[in-house]
């Protein structure tokens, strides 16, 4: 099982409960030091838990690709994939490391790419253990305020004039 966004909030609680239930948890984290501290804290309470911490920055397509290659090279199975990481809009319009509006890049593109890159691993695991895998996407209701009547205008994702962080906090 792999989680993205594991070091606080719902992600932290989910990682704890799954480890408590005997699931091998791979915490995909941006801050490895924070992930390592959480891992040690969880292992103090559950010394037999299987927890790994791996670095990923959803703000960078290269980091997502690097993570997926590292995960696959470990030969780990994958039958539960939980997309939990996300950022809220900053007051200032910001680009990702790949020159894509940052909120869209981190909350959507990075998650989608990672899931897509690991899909064959999930299929292989499902065949081997004869149990279908699950991909779980978590989000908030903030999307209701951020999409206008025309939906996502993909041709204008990087248009700073359309960016309005206040729309998320109505």
DSSP string, 41-96: HHHHH-TT--EEEEE--TT-HHHHHHHHHHHHHTT----EEEE----PPPSS--B-
How many CB atoms are located within 10 Å of the residue 19 CB?
A: 22
Mean pLDDT, residues 15-22:
93
Q: Burial letters for 20-44: b for 16+ Cβ neighbours within 10 Å, e otherwise? A: eeebbbbbbbbeeeebeebbeebee
- What range does the domain containing 74 cover? 2-169
**Which backbone phi and psi does 152 adopt, to 5 degrees?**
-80, 125
> What is residue 104's predicted lDDT score, i.e. its pLDDT?
83
pLDDT recorded at residue 157: 74
Average confidence score pLDDT of the chain = 85
Q: What tens digit of pLDDT does each residue of 121-145 get? A: 999 999 999 999 999 988 766 656 5
Please report, for the domain that includes residue 104, its CATH number: 3.40.50.720
State the pLDDT at residue 64.
Answer: 97
pTM attached to this predicted model: 0.85
Q: What is the pLDDT of residues 85-121, one digit of tens each?
A: 777 777 778 888 999 888 888 888 999 999 999 999 9
Band the pLDDT of 170: cuts 50, 70, 90: very low
Catalytic residues: 163
How many residues appear in the chain? Answer: 170
Angle at 144 between CA 9 and CA 14, to 5 degrees: 20
Domain count, the chain: 1
**Over 70: is that where the pLDDT of 150 sits?**
no
Is residue 42 within 8 A of residue 15, CB to CB? The reply is yes
């Amino acid at each position: 099982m792999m989680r993205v966004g594991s070091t606080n909030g719902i992600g932290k609680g989910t990682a704890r409960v799954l480890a408590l239930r005997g699931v091998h948890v791979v915490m995909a984290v941006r801050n490895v030091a924070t992930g390592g501290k959480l891992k040690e804290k969880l292992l103090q309470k559950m010394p037999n838990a299987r927890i790994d911490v791996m670095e990923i920055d959803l703000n960078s397509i290269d980091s997502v690709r690097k993570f997926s290659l590292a995960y696959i090279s470990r030969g780990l199975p994958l039958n539960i994939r939980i997309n939990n990481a996300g950022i809220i809009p900053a007051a200032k319009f910001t680009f990702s490391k790949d020159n894509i509006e940052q909120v869209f890049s981190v909350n959507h593109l990075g998650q989608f790419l990672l899931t897509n890159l690991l899909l064959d691993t999930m299929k292989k695991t499902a065949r081997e253990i004869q149990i279908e895998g699950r991909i779980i996407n978590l989000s908030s209701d903030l999307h209701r305020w951020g999409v206008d009547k025309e939906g996502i205008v993909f041709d204008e994702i990087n248009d700073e004039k359309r960016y309005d962080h206040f729309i998320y906090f109505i």
